[in-house]
Structure formats: C-alpha cells, structure tokens
Structure 1
Amino acid sequence: MAAEKTTIFSPETAARFDKLVTIYPVKRSALVPMLLYAQDDIGYISDAVVAEIAERIGITELDVRNVLSYYSMLRTKPVGKYHVQVCTNISCMLRDGYATLDQCKKKLGIGHKETTADGLFSLEEVECLGVCCWAPVVQVNYDFYDQLTPEKLDKVLDDYREGRGKETK
C-alpha cells in the first residue's frame, strides 16, 4: 500500500489538485488554477504553497514563482477576511472611482494594500474589475457591488463588519 501524501491543503483542495493535473495534456497547465485554489484555501501563496505545487506538477519552485510574480491577483502576503478591491480604471474613475477609494481608506482607516489591525478588512486599488457599465465598482472577496454612492458603500462595509455581507449569508 502506497504511503498517503502529506499536504498543507484541505482534503477538498488536495483532491481538486489531483484531478486538475489529469485533465490538462501538460501538467504545468494546471499551475494558475492551482495557485488560485491554493490562495482561496490558505489565504495567500506562501513558500510552503509554492513548494507543494511545484512538487505536485513536477516543476521547479522558481517556475512557480515566475508565474506568481506575473499575476496581480495572486498574493504572497495574507489579506483581511474581507478583501476590498476598488476599481479606478477609466470607467470607474470617470464616475468617482477615486472618491470611492478615498472613502474606503477613510472608513477602514487603511491605505492601498494594507489590512486593518483586527484582520477583518484589507484594501486594494485595482486596475479593472470588468463591469465598466455599472461604475463605480467594488469587489469584496468574490462579491461585486456596483453603481456605488457614498451611502451604499458605507452600508456594504458596515454589513461585512457586522457579519451581514453577501459572503457571510
């Protein structure tokens, strides 16, 4: 009987990885999906994540790090429980995207790529969230909030702080 592999990932994520490497003609093609799933599972891409994924795919850690450094949506540092991304690309900028970002900074008391002391929120200015026609837009983890006004934004953040955000239901 073969020894069971030890892993830093949840059993669900480890099983997903085992399947991913079988559905691509080249194992390396599973790298970006694996990094995204790992980030969801662990919270960020740590050195241990890099090492295990490299081993699972049969590539070097440097190969993993090269891909990791290319994609801005992959994080190498922990973020808050609620990762708030504010779009300031052209459509959002023209509809007060910078004011939305400034309001988030003020309300949360943190700046770009910072995390609140309680670890609840992190904030990031992003280039585009892909919903330009409903600007300005904020994404909290995987939930979108569009056509924001200062009042709507405050309610969104208050709801997450009180455990009533979309993701908490």
Structure 2
Amino acid sequence: MSVRRLADVQPESFAFSDANMAWAKKEIAKYPEGRQASAVISLLWRAQDQEGWVTEPAIDAVAAMLDMPKIRVLEVATFYTQFNLAPVGDVAHIQVCGTTPCWLRGANDIKDVCKRRIHADQHHRSSDGKFSWEEVECLGACVNAPMVLIGSDTFEDLTAETFDRLIDDMAAGKRVEPGPQVDRQFAAPMGGPTTLTDPSLFSREARDDGEPRVEVVEPQNDADDAPVATVEKSDTSELSDADRPETLSEARDGKPDDLKRISGVGPKIEGILHSLGIYHFDQIAAWQPREVEWVDAQLKFKGRIARENWIDQAKALGGGEAATSGDKPEVLANSDQAPIAAGKPNAAAPSPPDPDGSISQAAEKKIDGQSTEEKRQEKIEDTEAHEAADKDSAD
C-alpha cells in the first residue's frame, strides 16, 4: 500500500457545524460506555463530508470527542483511502473508475480528460481550484462503464466528449443529471427494450378481457392406465399344525440347552422358541424344510434359519467339544466352502479352545451380567422385529 501523509498546508482549526455536532453525539451514543472509539470512521466521514477532506485539526477534534490518542485516529485516516488527506476541488472531486470493465470501455480516455482539464497528477486541484481527481477501484456500475463518481452521484456511459461537456456544465454552475449519459434507463439495453416489445401485450384489451392467452394443457398421467405390479406372497399361509416340528411341554430334566449359543439366536428369540416347545439342540437339528418354514412363520424372520445355518449349528452343538466349550460351532455355508465362523460370513474360523479347556476372555466378557454377544444379538433381533412388523402392516 502506498504511503499516505497529511497535506503540508493545514487550516488552523476545525469544528463541526451545529447539525453535524448533534448527529455526532447521537452516533457516539449508539455504543456502550468504553466503546465510543467504534464511532471513529463515522465521525471522520462526516468531517470529510463537511470540509471536503480530512484535516489535521479534524483528526484532533475527533480524537478529543472519542477520548482517543491522536495517533489512533491518524492511523484510521491514513489507512482507508476513502479519506482525502489533501484539499479537493471546490466544485467537484472526481473519482474515475479504472477497473477492467471501465478500462475496456474507455476509462483511459476519461483519465486523459482529467489530466488535460484538471491536473496531470492525481490529488491536485485545477488552477482555478474548482476540480480535483483520482483513480479508484470498482464503483459498482460495470454494465454502464465507463463511469465516474462525484460526491454521492454516479455519471455513467461516458465518452471523452460527454465527460468534457459534463465538466463545462459543472464549472458554469449548471445542473447536471446523474446516471447514464446516453439514451437508456439505468442498466436497460441501449437502444431500448429487446424483449416483450409487442404493444398488444400491454393494451387495455389484453388486461381487461380476462381471457388467458396461453393454451391450458391438461396434465398427462399415464400412470392411471399402467398395470399394477403384483408380488407373489409365499405359501406360509398354507402351513398347518401338521408342519409343526416335534415340541416338548417342558425341557428334559428341567434343563434346556443354551439356544443362545446358536449364532443368530439371542435372548428374545430363545424365549419365543421356548414358548413354542423348543428347548434342545437335537430338536432343531431334526427340522425338515416344512418345519423350518413353520418356525420361520412364528418368528416372523423369514429365511433366517437357513441363512444362519441353525440346523448345522444345532447338530454341532448337540455333542462334541463345541457343546461343552461354550464357543460358537463351525458350520459349512455349503459343501464347496471351507468352515466359517457361525453367523460371521467371510470371517476366519475361530481359534481352538485353550489346551486346558478354558474359555477365551473375549468370548466370555460380561457387561452388566450379559455377554457382549448377547447384547449385540438382542439389538439385531429388535431391528429385525421392527422391520418384520412394518412389512406385515404394509401387506
């Protein structure tokens, strides 16, 4: 950023006008006690609006009003380029936009006029003291490039000739009209509108006859005639008590097998199996296809028994080492696959039990009296029960 310094020649004093002083007091009152310094930019801007530029006495006055060190106010005034630190023209200080859109459309021609009519260098007044100029960044009217800002008014769509004439009119004290300096309204197309040009669109007849001028097209919905897809339901409704597997009124010797050792069976499903009279692994191991369908229908988890190989697991748990170790048995998903851990497709087979027959700590880790596996299985059962209930309601 270029160095900005105060002008060499300064007035002896500065004072806000009565109206501006009243405004400044209201502005300061907007901020809580101890935060009055936040009004520094507003007060400097009002001082510039009154004098045309920010003088050193104005900086002193603002610092005193806000109880700020002078250097802090000076930092603000010299940092922001919106503040003029040297005298400007008595009639007009012209800010010329030199950003790309204006530059492409002739901003250099406007600057040449300023150099010729006002001063060869920026921030200097003309010989009669009436005008000064500077180049600034985008002023926000790119579609009307090139343009200049004088005070709070923009003058757009300029050429060297129209800008020359604008300076002449201001020097003579004539009233000048801000906005586009060509025959168009603000940012509308030059030469007039290019759309909706048919006068009949805006005629009284078009407004008053009340008849729509657009053909109303009825919505086409071929879906009403489309065949409705049907889904064949399974024949579980045809199952009867004849398909019910062998059941017991109670567990043999009052000691049911721990059916939760079958991967896929948790406390909830075990309770349902008990209510159906199924307590032992050998009962499950003996199920036939129709009996599997019957139990599936009672559990409302269709396909789960086959999917999780309950029968193979029950056969493995019915006797042998797995039956006493507490580990889940290894089962075969099909005859072509190697053994996989029950209920864990694509997982490596579990390691054999410890030589002394102890159960691994991870397998028997308890949480609040319930194993991690049981908690996991219970969550699965709850989820599938909700899904089954939703499906039944949909059917």
The alignment's TM-score, normalised by the length of structure 1, stands at 0.88
Query: 2:47 touches 2:53 (CA, 8 Å); kept in 1?
Result: yes
Say whether 1:144 aligns with 2:154. Answer: yes
Query: 2:122 touches 2:135 (CA, 8 Å); kept in 1?
Result: yes
1:4 alignment partner in structure 2? none
Greater CA deviation, 153-162 or 23-32? 23-32
2:29 alignment partner in structure 1? 22
Percent of paired sites with the same residue: 34
Choose the corresponding residue for 2:69, options 60, 73, 85: 60
Query: Could you say what secondary structure the match of 2:112 adopts?
Result: helix
Written as runs of structure 1 = structure 2, the 5 A alignment for 1:35-114 is 35-81=44-90, 82-114=92-124
User: In 1, distance between residues paired with 2:24 and 2:176?
Assistant: 28
1:3 alignment partner in structure 2? none
Choose the corresponding residue for 2:20, options 1, 10, 13: 13
Q: How many pairs align?
A: 161
AA matched with 2:21: A
RCO comparison, higher one (Cα < 8 Å, 6+): 1
1:153 alignment partner in structure 2? 163
User: In 2, distance between residues paired with 1:43 and 1:146?
Assistant: 23
Q: How many angstroms does 1:109 deviate by?
A: 4.5
Moved over 3 A (4+): none
2:377 alignment partner in structure 1? none
Richer in strand (by share):
1
User: In 2, distance between residues paired with 1:124 and 1:11?
Assistant: 31
Choose the corresponding residue for 1:162, options 172, 176, 179: 172
Q: Which runs of 5+ in 1 are unaligned?
A: 1-6
Richer in helix (by share):
1
Query: 2:147 touches 2:157 (CA, 8 Å); kept in 1?
Result: yes
Query: Could you say what secondary structure the match of 1:59 adopts?
Result: coil
User: In 2, distance between residues paired with 1:138 and 1:165?
Assistant: 17
Q: Which runs of 5+ in 2 are unaligned?
A: 1-13, 178-395
Cα RMSD after superposing both structures: 1.6
User: In 2, distance between residues paired with 1:64 and 1:75?
Assistant: 14
